[in-house]
């Protein structure tokens, strides 16, 4: 049996909706774009949605639209996909990584506050928070709803208000998740979603900016379309823009997928429940947190390998990945911490304080197969294999340590 890490759910309706666009001849800047945007905004609960070519493009446009650039900083977490930090770097701004909460694995509001209190002060006019280490303006707070679990938005909103920070939500992994009864993406001034094939819904490639601000939405529509103004003619460019458009082919697939998003999310939740039941007795791992009071949207199912004798679980985790691969089961380290990526070494000031929780999580975490159509048999096979992989991986590792001790 081969079990992939993820698999898009594509049905005949999706295919015929895309085929209809092909037959229409209107492949880009056609009617499907606004239709997708309107149904998406209605689903998430914002006034506006702007379709773009990827989740990364959506994040980049948020940074640009909020006027964040050189000499600015954005507070975020390192336990994330690189795009949530890169979007600041694209504009010459610096991501500043603060630690995460050990239970939710999301940015810790307490760590945000500690960073601000230890390293920041108001400028003389009292308008901007300044990072004392380098004189940069701290302009935004960018929480990531990691693996579809909502961040603790109330304290984050309070911090954003108190310190006049733009609040930009990276909800790329969290479509359909709710915090205190309201959808994620509606808490910040702007939010982003993504539609790569491993996400809860897909357009092949694609992303969305959501906001309640008509002005920010209009600016993003111009920026994604080479800085054109919606009313002006084709070769008039009001500002420096990008080609971040999403084609009507992609949007048609998005419309069709969004129509059954709740079914797809429930199917993923059933897979998560099946994992929870079967893995409950496996004492060597920690299961994903299921908090009360918010609705999680399952992006990936991430377990953590417990440390043995207070040693880092990383060698064991990596050996489990190899064992699972031998059995045809896809798994992935989600996430290697961003600040440990080779290319991040060139940026100074990004890690103001040690990040012990982030580093421990990135040494322990392992994403196992998660997709709407995963069967009971597949889940059973994966869970059984995890226990066997842990057995044989710990046996191999302990024989290695023993022979090292003898030598
Ligand atoms: C998927 C994802 C994105 C966007 O990725 P794209 O591949 O550019 O669509 C951004 N942030 C996070 C946390 C993600 O998981």
pLDDT under 70: residue ranges of the chain: 404-407
Q: How far is residue 87's CA from residue 93's CA, in Å, rounded to a whole number? A: 9
pLDDT at site 276:
97
For residue 137, what are the β-bridge partners? Answer: 72, 130
Q: Which residue is closest in CA terms to ligand 1's atom 9? A: 55
pLDDT at site 308:
86
Work out which ligand 1 atom sits closest to the CA atom of 57.
8
Q: Is the CB of 194 under 6 A from ligand 1?
A: yes
Work out which ligand 1 atom sits closest to the CA atom of 84.
11
pLDDT at site 407:
60
pLDDT at site 151:
97
pLDDT at site 405:
66
pLDDT at site 233:
81
pLDDT at site 402:
76
pLDDT at site 289:
92
Residues 6+ apart with CB under 8 A from 23: none
Q: Is the CB of 46 under 6 A from ligand 1?
A: no
Which CA distances in Å does 353 have to 77, 81, 341? 12, 20, 17
């Amino acid at each position: 049996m081969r079990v992939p890490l993820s698999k898009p759910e594509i049905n005949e309706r999706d295919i015929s909706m895309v085929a209809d666009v092909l037959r229409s001849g209107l492949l880009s800047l056609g009617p499907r774009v606004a239709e997708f945007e309107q149904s998406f905004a209605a689903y998430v609960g914002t006034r506006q949605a702007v379709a773009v070519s990827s989740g990364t493009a959506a994040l980049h446009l948020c940074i640009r639209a909020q006027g964040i650039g050189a000499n600015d900083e954005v507070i975020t977490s390192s336990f994330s996909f690189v795009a949530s930090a890169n979007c600041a770097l694209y504009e010459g701004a610096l991501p500043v990584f603060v630690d995460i909460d050990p239970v939710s694995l999301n940015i810790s509001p307490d760590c945000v506050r500690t960073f601000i209190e230890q390293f920041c002060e108001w400028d003389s006019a009292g308008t901007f928070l300044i990072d004392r280490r380098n004189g940069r303006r701290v302009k935004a707070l960018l929480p990531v709803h990691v693996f579809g679990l909502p961040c603790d938005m109330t304290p984050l909103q309070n911090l954003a208000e108190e310190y006049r920070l733009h609040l930009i939500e990276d909800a790329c992994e969290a479509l359909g998740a709710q915090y205190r009864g309201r959808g994620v993406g509606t808490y910040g001034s702007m939010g982003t979603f993504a539609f790569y094939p491993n996400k809860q819904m897909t357009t092949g490639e694609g992303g969305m900016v959501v906001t309640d601000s008509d002005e920010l939405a209009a600016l993003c529509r111009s920026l994604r379309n080479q800085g054109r103004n919606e009313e002006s003619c084709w070769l008039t460019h009001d500002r420096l823009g990008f080609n971040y458009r999403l084609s009507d082919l992609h949007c048609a697939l998005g419309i069709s997928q969004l129509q059954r998003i709740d079914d797809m999310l429930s199917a993923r939740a059933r897979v998560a429940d099946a994992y929870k039941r079967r893995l409950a007795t496996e004492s060597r791992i920690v299961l994903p947190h299921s908090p009360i009071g918010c609705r999680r949207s399952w992006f990936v199912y991430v377990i953590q390998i417990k440390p043995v004798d207070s040693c880092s679980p990383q060698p064991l985790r990596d050996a489990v990945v190899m064992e699972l691969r031998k059995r045809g089961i896809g798994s992935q380290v989600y996430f290697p911490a961003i600040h440990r990526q080779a290319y991040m070494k060139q940026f100074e000031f990004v890690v103001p304080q040690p990040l012990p929780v982030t580093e421990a999580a990135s040494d322990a975490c392992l994403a196992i197969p998660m997709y709407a159509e995963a069967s009971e048999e597949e889940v059973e096979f994966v869970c059984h294999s995890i226990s066997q992989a842990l057995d044989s991986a710990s046996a191999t590792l302990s024989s290695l340590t023993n022979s090292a001790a003898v030598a």
